[in-house]
Structure 1
Amino acid sequence: MRVAVDLPNDFVEMLTEQAIAKEMRLAYALSLFKDARITIAKAAELAGITIYEFMAACKANRIPVIEVSREELVQELQSIGRHP
């Protein structure tokens, strides 16, 4: 699908059309992933980058890649100490 967006000329002149499209794809992928509407793999695919690059973009945008509650983390850490 192709989506057209009208942008003011002074914004368009800052970057090439390809650079704007890449930024918009990444922003949309980050938004969908943050809202748990797509997986990290699908988000990376949508953004046109590797999953590792997408994880770095998540970090840069303060979007958690792994959602773990405090209780789950405490249980996991406690279970590590129990194994011989």
Structure 2
Amino acid sequence: MQIAIELPNDFVNFQGAAEIRQEVAISYALWLYQQGRVTLSKAAELAGVDLYDFMMTCKRNKVPIIDISRDDLIAELSGFDGG
């Protein structure tokens, strides 16, 4: 499916259509991931990048990749045998 949005010509000329297309795809994928509507791997696919690149994009945009509280993490790790 294709969705069209209207942008001022000078904006498109300044950045280029391909770059804008990529930025919109990444921004939308980040938003969907933040909302919990898609998985990390699905968001990477929607953004058109590999998983590692999407994880780095999340980091640059301060979007947590692991969404677990400190207490939950401690509880989870306490079940592991240290030996």
- Summarize deviations over 1:14-70 as a string: whole Å, max 9, x none: 211111101100000000001000001110001110000000000000000011111
| Secondary structure of the corresponding residue to residue 20 of structure 2 | helix
Tell me the matched-pair count: 83
Identity over aligned pairs, percent? 43
Matching residue of 1:83: 82
Q: Where in structure 2 are the equivalents of 1:1-84 lying within 5 Å?
A: 1-79=1-79, 83-84=82-83
Query: CA–CA distance in 2 between the matches of 1:77 and 1:14?
Result: 50
Query: CA–CA distance in 2 between the matches of 1:40 and 1:75?
Result: 24
Could you tell me how far 1:74 is from its partner in structure 2? 2.3
TM-score, structure 1 as length reference: 0.88
Query: CA–CA distance in 2 between the matches of 1:46 and 1:78?
Result: 36
Structure 1 unpaired stretches of 5+: none
Query: CA–CA distance in 1 between the matches of 2:14 and 2:72?
Result: 45
Query: CA–CA distance in 2 between the matches of 1:26 and 1:14?
Result: 19
TM-score, structure 2 as length reference: 0.89
Structure 2 unpaired stretches of 5+: none
